[in-house]
Structure 1
Amino acid sequence: MYDFLKNLDPVLQALLATLFTYFVTMLGAAMVFFFKTINQKVLNGMLGFASGVMIAASFWSLLNPAIELAENIGLPGWKPAVIGFLFGGIFLWSIDKFLPHLHQNQPISNAEGISTKWRRSILLVLAITLHNIPEGLAVGVAFGALAVTGPESSSTLVSAIALAIGIGLQNFPEGAAVSIPLRRDGMSRRKAFFYGQASGIVEPIAGVIGAIFVIKMTFLLPYALAFAAGAMIYVVAEELIPTAKEIRHDDSGTIGVMFGFAIMMFLDVALG
């Protein structure tokens, strides 16, 4: 499998990797065919796990390589990391203010973004879709970087694969976190599955865009890596951790963060 991927164009690598992460989202959404409800503490642990994976990926797979690449081309290591990171957060903040969406466990009166009469189910799906954008972008940028650093660099390719695996792992609980609550609200299993898997379709799109962008504008690669990291951290701070900590005196979200971070750190350091 590694040799097969190594000989592919980086854009195609990014597409295959993000199709994998999308497929795992589908598997998570398919849990709706087996469960109608999900214990809130379990859901909090799943959201915490996703947070931990994204935090670890932001540093080990994105910020740290951005700093190293910047230093290799004669830039201060902190400059692209700080600028790209902040712009990634600003980008997601801007979409957050514009795109209508609703966070888990919130009444429809708390919907964010532009005012709309869309149904609660659509707004819930859009909330998850919103933070799948930086995930797909991160994977795409990581594979697109191969065109700059060279496909012969096995550590770079393995690191990108590790990132895709990590994002895929946390997409499973995310898919379930969309479809099962929709089923609990009375939606049919098939429809809830459809909406759950649809939340991940933006990942292959964002992945291909990210890969093409860094290939066409190689001098922006350190900034692009940091941008993806900033976008992911914004999602973690804005949605995932607050939602996972809504129940007072419940440590399942915190434990999930620790496990998610440890697993992603292992994948990136041991494999990359």
Structure 2
Amino acid sequence: MPESFRQADPILQALIAGGFTWALTAAGAAFVFFLLHVNRKLFDAMLGFAGGVMLAASYWSLLEPSIDAAAEQGWPSWFPAAVGFLLGAVFLYGLDRSLPHLHRGKPDESAEGIKTTWQRSALLISAITLHNIPEGLAVGVAFGSVGSGLETASLGGATALAIGIGLQNVPEGIAVAVPLRAEGTSRMKAWLMGQASAIVEPIAAVIGAAIVVYVAPVLPFALSFAAGAMVYVVIEELIPETQQEGNEDLAALLFMLGFVVMMILDVSLR
């Protein structure tokens, strides 16, 4: 890890890390220049892997530090983790109910959220953007917790989280761009739309880092809030989507692999 990055302001670190996860979404979307369709079995495997990464990150990178931060601040160790976790899920539930979006492979009439005249492409982008908000927040609060002086937080752990989120962003980029291309959108426009779905990640990362750096008492709540939001995405969207085409076993195995990869990254880089 470059020394200049180690010495950087934690908010700048969060911005760089959020930019990295955005870049990997763009890399996934770039598959549109080579593919017209993605094999459904492969796609479900990638989604399963992404879900495993997010679930492992929710504990090792967010909930465990939340419990440690609560103890340092004098809270009952379970309280901020429980409250923040539930608030994160409620926040994503509210976004899911209000923000117009359409999941991959669904007909236009299946669009969720408030009724809108948005085009199908905008609704598809909106669905992936919903996933990326908690991911950006998670990266931001992880780097912010290091800057706030949390004893158990480490730059290596925050970096591991950014790497894990970035890896699982590759299939998310594919999930936006390739279906748009299959529906007749030009390759360049499909790529631009695919990478645009992750533009919220560096923004959310900066917001998350700034909150925990400048308002230290909210640190344990912010960590668990991000965890709850990510787990909600895994349960509400990623797992159900892998269960629709008979690839449940493959998706489950890749889910386990993603969980282990993220666990190893977090523990080994602390």
TM-score by length of 1: 0.96
Mapping 1:146-185, distance limit 5 Å: 146-149=146-149, 156-185=154-183
Aligned partner of 1:215 in structure 2 is 213
Equivalent pair of 2:22/2:166 in contact (CA under 8 Å):
yes
Mapping 1:241-252, distance limit 5 Å: 241-248=239-246, 250-252=248-250
| Secondary structure of the corresponding residue to residue 202 of structure 2 | helix
Equivalent pair of 2:29/2:178 in contact (CA under 8 Å):
yes
Q: Percent identity?
A: 56
Mapping 1:22-101, distance limit 5 Å: 22-101=22-101
What per-residue deviation string (whole Å, max 9, x for no partner) do you get for residues 114-153 of structure 1? 1012111110110000110000000000111122116xx7
CA distance in 2, matches of 1:226, 1:120: 33
Residue identity opposite 2:184 in structure 1? G
Aligned partner of 1:261 in structure 2 is 259
| Secondary structure of the corresponding residue to residue 149 of structure 1 | coil
Residue 227 (structure 1) aligned with residue 240 (structure 2): no
What per-residue deviation string (whole Å, max 9, x for no partner) do you get for residues 224-258 of structure 1? 00000000011111111111111135422212211
Aligned partner of 2:112 in structure 1 is 112
Paired residues in the alignment total 270
CA distance in 1, matches of 2:221, 2:153: 21
For structure 2, the residue ranges without an aligned partner over 5 or more in a row are none
CA distance in 2, matches of 1:17, 1:154: 20
Aligned partner of 2:237 in structure 1 is 239
| Secondary structure of the corresponding residue to residue 251 of structure 1 | helix
Of residues 28-37 and 140-149 in structure 1, the stretch that sits farther from structure 2 once superposed is 140-149
Aligned partner of 1:123 in structure 2 is 123
Aligned partner of 1:21 in structure 2 is 21
Residue identity opposite 1:233 in structure 2? V
CA distance in 1, matches of 2:153, 2:146: 10
Equivalent pair of 1:42/1:252 in contact (CA under 8 Å):
no
- 1:173 to partner: Cα distance: 1.2
- Residues 154 and 7 (structure 1), Cα distance of their counterparts in 2 relative to 1, 3 Å cut: farther
CA distance in 2, matches of 1:83, 1:161: 26
What per-residue deviation string (whole Å, max 9, x for no partner) do you get for residues 163-182 of structure 1? 00000110111111111111
CA distance in 1, matches of 2:26, 2:98: 27
- 1:27 to partner: Cα distance: 0.4
Residue 191 (structure 1) aligned with residue 185 (structure 2): no
Of residues 214-223 and 71-80 in structure 1, the stretch that sits farther from structure 2 once superposed is 71-80
CA distance in 1, matches of 2:116, 2:109: 11
| Secondary structure of the corresponding residue to residue 112 of structure 1 | coil
CA distance in 1, matches of 2:22, 2:223: 21
| Secondary structure of the corresponding residue to residue 148 of structure 2 | helix
CA distance in 1, matches of 2:220, 2:55: 18
Equivalent pair of 2:102/2:120 in contact (CA under 8 Å):
yes
Of residues 242-251 and 84-93 in structure 1, the stretch that sits farther from structure 2 once superposed is 242-251
TM-score by length of 2: 0.97
CA distance in 1, matches of 2:174, 2:11: 29
CA distance in 2, matches of 1:255, 1:108: 31
CA distance in 2, matches of 1:155, 1:223: 15
Residue identity opposite 2:175 in structure 1? A
- Residues 249 and 205 (structure 1), Cα distance of their counterparts in 2 relative to 1, 3 Å cut: closer
What per-residue deviation string (whole Å, max 9, x for no partner) do you get for residues 82-115 of structure 1? 0000000001111111100011111111100010
- 1:186 to partner: Cα distance: 1.7
- 1:155 to partner: Cα distance: 6.1
Residue identity opposite 1:91 in structure 2? F
Aligned partner of 2:138 in structure 1 is 138
Equivalent pair of 1:29/1:197 in contact (CA under 8 Å):
yes
